[in-house]
Amino acid sequence: MNTEQKLALVTGASKGIGAAIAQELARSGFAIWLNYRSDHTAAAAVRDKIENDGGRCRLLPFDVTDMHQTEQALRPLLEAQVPYAVVNNAGITRDTLLAMMAEQQWNDVINSHLGGFFNVTRTVLAQMMRKRQGRIVNIVSTSGQTGVAGQTNYCAAKAGVIGATRALAVEVARRNILVNAVAPGFIATEMTAAIDEEQIAAKVPLGRAGSVEDVAWMVDYLCSEKARYITGQVFSVNGGVYMG
């Protein structure tokens, strides 16, 4: 990869919102490190789309919940190049009421979102601080801003990442590293496919679900020079379903 080209690391980017973010950042001139856990076919398809459009993309299969895997995948690459942008998007859901929630369901969701944020960001952060530049964008959720029945684990994880976003923004501002979060609402992905469209329309003031591109455009803006005086903020992309 051209070391003069800005680089973006996007986690959980083999499909859905993460794939859209990777493609949008590539269109804006970023080389992409595309992380995913196990869906090699989907990840390769995203890479091919980026490269067919003239971009550059390296696939990085590792589990963000595992610090050893994360360091093993990233540290050798960081010796040659440091991402300008890190987008923490990887995450899962294990929805059920808390009274019936298994310990594993709680731990899996917390480890995926909060643990993944910690493992990836800490691995890259020291090098970013030495470069005295960078953008960290954490994909959170409307669920982390307001309560949702059946998602106590997910709400707790996303609210935790929002708190971490604000704290880290204060820690690294002097090093010209900006840290923000993007909170999608109902976005048309595999995760929302089971929800009836009429139910979504009834809950959202704009009357429809959003698209993955709606989220990707916000992330792209936060990684651009136009957002150079913005840090520690949470940007809602939710059609007005939550106004906090």
Instruction: Give the largest CA-CA distance in the chain.
Output: 53
Buried b or exposed e, range 70-99, using 16+ CB within 10 angstroms: bbebbeebbeebbbbbbbbbbbbbbbeeee
Specify if 74 maps to a domain.
yes
Length in residues, the chain: 244
pTM for this prediction: 0.95
- Give the pLDDT band (50/70/90) at residue 244: confident
Q: Is 129 helix (H, G, I), strand (E, B) or coil?
A: helix
Specify if 55 maps to a domain.
yes
Specify if 231 maps to a domain.
yes
Average confidence (pLDDT) over 90-116 = 97
Q: What is the CATH number of the domain that holds 29?
A: 3.40.50.720
Cα four-point dihedral sign 23, 27, 28, 32:
positive
Specify if 242 maps to a domain.
no
Number of domains in the chain: 1
For residue 24, the enclosing domain spans: 7-237
User: How far is it, in rounded angstroms, from Cα 118 to Cα 109?
Assistant: 14
Q: Which of 36, 84, 154, 242 is catalytic?
A: 154
Q: What is the pLDDT of residues 48-77, one digit of tens each?
A: 999 999 999 999 999 999 999 999 999 999
CA distances, 103 to each of 107, 111, 118 (Å): 6, 12, 21
Specify if 60 maps to a domain.
yes
The answer to whether 135 and 222 are in contact (CB under 8 A) is: yes
Q: What's the CA dihedral at 220, 189, 169, 79 to 10 degrees?
A: -70
Active site residue 154: yes
Please name the helix (run of DSSP H) or strand (run of DSSP E) that holds residue 74, with its range, or none.
Answer: helix 67-78
Is pLDDT above 50 for 26?
Answer: yes
Is pLDDT above 80 for 105?
Answer: yes
The answer to whether 188 and 212 are in contact (CB under 8 A) is: yes
Specify if 243 maps to a domain.
no
Q: What is the pLDDT of residues 133-178, one digit of tens each?
A: 999 999 999 999 998 999 999 999 999 999 999 999 999 999 999 9
Specify if 98 maps to a domain.
yes
Specify if 104 maps to a domain.
yes
